[in-house]
Structure 1
């Protein structure tokens, strides 16, 4: 036996051990995504280190993930070019650095999932745990359950360990869908535990008083049930899904009635359910800012720079398409639209295929569709969980590509 063979025998177990530790570190990274109070957050710092270590250990970008890397790098080149349009850089470079990191995080998730499908379970389980903890803190904060609990609220709305209730609410949707999916088709013995977790997440979404989060969950839950009924051909199984879905709706309605018995809940609920708020219409309201912003963007191909829009029009863009134009220029806008369209296409092609990763793809893809909708009234370019969802869909696409290649090689 040669010396090289001896080294190989030693190196392989060591490398496997390192990758196992790295997988545990991924779970920690996903867990930290639920605790974002400021930028850069611990999530960024931890994942930046993790991405570097993983690529040193040999993680590769497959051909099916490479287009995502190219598009996101170009997207952020547009963002860097927009910095040249700023008179005062202020926080612009930090904003661009976070944007670049988040883009790379999507590529990282796609690569590690394409490398090993079992990491999907790890990612979603860590996400569920983080979501339940941050939702619980938001709920306790809303009801001032302990001294200092108001730190987990803003404007009398639950926000957990986030900067904004409008990010906190949507963050909880994907893990809520994952638990809902497991409750509908999983083992009945685990149903009470899943139902308890789902109840906490739904209450957290409700108390965020984010209309975007409410609409996102309602759309996503209906779409999830629809695609599950479409995929499963057994009438008995379809009846089970419909019966459990109806039971979930009834329980949610009962929970809503109970919550509305609290005056602080019912008053804010009646205000937030108005379709158009004071800050939506009127002079320089949300919708007028959208119109003026798009007109301005047609004259500024390189954009106007990060965080500049609010200095011109009192508030941020609150529209991801406009945000991509103002902050990343025409180049960034083209790349963002391309990423979203390509991601939707990958999911559409594979979402009904009978694969071990199909439930994860279904949850991620549906949630992204919902984010595309709410992106018309809110900025999502720095939502960490959105990049994670994009990475999950592309990672599942990479798994499908690898499976097809194996089948062709075996033919």
Structure 2
């Protein structure tokens, strides 16, 4: 975005940037009258920064080939492993700076954000194992990330990890489903053993096992519960076409709306909600077309990683998740032409075939 680089701008990236700027404009329009509150100013700055993470990652990924995308996935998995180690150690040590409500969060905002952050790393590890690249190393990473997601006790993250990993694993091994099933069962054995050890040695785990794994917690039910707040938000959305603004939800409900799609309509108005809806639909279409044209497994892995995050954001305040914007930008930036093998000219293919023939035989001369 500067005059010092030869940045590639195509129709797709230009439209993505415009869509993000429209969404950001709705954030400012809805909250500009509330800037006397320093918390609102901070939230506006935070949302601006995460949105520009998406724009930057989109621009960076425009000229990526499989090599650069593979490096990105490796680094993402490494960052997940570092976060998982910090979170698990903080959980074991009961470190208040690394936990929230006795659940690990590492240096992220909360345990739910921590758990969702790790799910694309699980998908990336599955891809690397299927590609037979350092299988022992990535199997260890897969086990660590799975344990960390479980210890986050985020219902959305755990269900997302199980659902999308199962679908993705089935696609990766669609020609060897029986073998994939047996491998999955073999992986579950050490995972269950580790979880049981935590449950026996840590009172928090045993308590969470009995309380967290339910369809609805106490705060999900009731008139102002999470699920009923979705219904209560509908008349408020209709009455506030420009949105109620940032942090104003606390004047109406005891907790945030915990649904990024409804929140965009409620907080930022109809324009913000429509921009977000369009962003979700077009992101899915963009990811599908990229994979369909390239047939590259890494592109499919990015798509599933993005889906795992978006599905969780429907139960949380996901508009603040930096990694969600990161993967969204990468998803829009990937150019399928950079991942399609360039066919060799016919005369070059004949020359290669002729050169590969064994010595001693008559080899036709190819001009």
Category of TM-score, reference length = shorter chain: 0.7 to 0.9
Alignment RMSD, CA only?
2.4
Post-superposition Cα deviations, 1:72-131, rounded to whole Å, max 9, x if no partner, equal 100111111101453844322322222222222212212221212233223222222221
Q: Do residues 368 (structure 1) and 316 (structure 2) align?
A: no
> Aligned match of 2:140 in 176, 179, 196?
196
Task: Name the counterpart of 1:223.
Answer: 167
Shift of 1:402: 6.0
- Summarize the Cα distance change of 1:401–1:92 in structure 2 as closer, same or farther, 3 Å threshold: farther
Give the conservation status (yes or no) of the 8 Å contact 1:184–1:244.
no
User: How far, CA to CA, are the matches of 2:189 and 2:250 in structure 1?
Assistant: 42
Task: Name the counterpart of 1:185.
Answer: 131
The two structures have a TM-score, normalised by structure 2, of 0.85
User: How far, CA to CA, are the matches of 2:337 and 2:51 in structure 1?
Assistant: 22
Shift of 1:313: 0.8
Q: Do residues 254 (structure 1) and 193 (structure 2) align?
A: yes
> Aligned match of 1:315 in 247, 255, 261?
255
Task: Name the counterpart of 1:283.
Answer: 223
> Aligned match of 2:184 in 245, 248, 251?
245
Task: Name the counterpart of 1:400.
Answer: 336
Q: Do residues 213 (structure 1) and 157 (structure 2) align?
A: yes
Task: Name the counterpart of 1:339.
Answer: 279
Number of positions where the alignment pairs a residue of Structure 1 with one of Structure 2:
341
Shift of 1:307: 1.3
Task: Name the counterpart of 2:209.
Answer: 269
Q: Do residues 160 (structure 1) and 106 (structure 2) align?
A: yes
Q: How does 1:54-69 map to 2 (within 5 A)?
A: 56-69=4-17
Give the conservation status (yes or no) of the 8 Å contact 1:306–1:326.
no
Residue range with higher mean Cα deviation, 117-126 or 62-71:
117-126
User: How far, CA to CA, are the matches of 1:269 and 1:403 in structure 2?
Assistant: 44
Post-superposition Cα deviations, 1:33-63, rounded to whole Å, max 9, x if no partner, equal xxxxxxxxxxxxxxxxxxx66x632223222
Give the conservation status (yes or no) of the 8 Å contact 1:319–1:376.
yes
SS of structure 1 residue aligned to 2:218: coil
Give the conservation status (yes or no) of the 8 Å contact 1:110–1:393.
yes
Q: Do residues 303 (structure 1) and 219 (structure 2) align?
A: no
Task: Name the counterpart of 1:105.
Answer: 53
Q: Do residues 116 (structure 1) and 45 (structure 2) align?
A: no
User: How far, CA to CA, are the matches of 1:85 and 1:285 in structure 2?
Assistant: 29
User: How far, CA to CA, are the matches of 1:86 and 1:322 in structure 2?
Assistant: 21
- Summarize the Cα distance change of 1:193–1:120 in structure 2 as closer, same or farther, 3 Å threshold: same
Residue range with higher mean Cα deviation, 164-173 or 60-69:
60-69
User: How far, CA to CA, are the matches of 2:35 and 2:89 in structure 1?
Assistant: 44
Task: Name the counterpart of 1:24.
Answer: none
User: How far, CA to CA, are the matches of 1:401 and 1:306 in structure 2?
Assistant: 41
Task: Name the counterpart of 2:347.
Answer: none
User: How far, CA to CA, are the matches of 1:143 and 1:137 in structure 2?
Assistant: 10
Give the conservation status (yes or no) of the 8 Å contact 2:219–2:225.
yes
User: How far, CA to CA, are the matches of 1:386 and 1:330 in structure 2?
Assistant: 22
User: How far, CA to CA, are the matches of 1:129 and 1:402 in structure 2?
Assistant: 25
Give the conservation status (yes or no) of the 8 Å contact 2:28–2:44.
yes
Shift of 1:368: 2.4
User: How far, CA to CA, are the matches of 1:241 and 1:278 in structure 2?
Assistant: 38
- Summarize the Cα distance change of 1:403–1:171 in structure 2 as closer, same or farther, 3 Å threshold: closer
Shift of 1:383: 0.4
User: How far, CA to CA, are the matches of 2:339 and 2:97 in structure 1?
Assistant: 48
The two structures have a TM-score, normalised by structure 1, of 0.77
> Aligned match of 2:84 in 135, 150, 158?
135
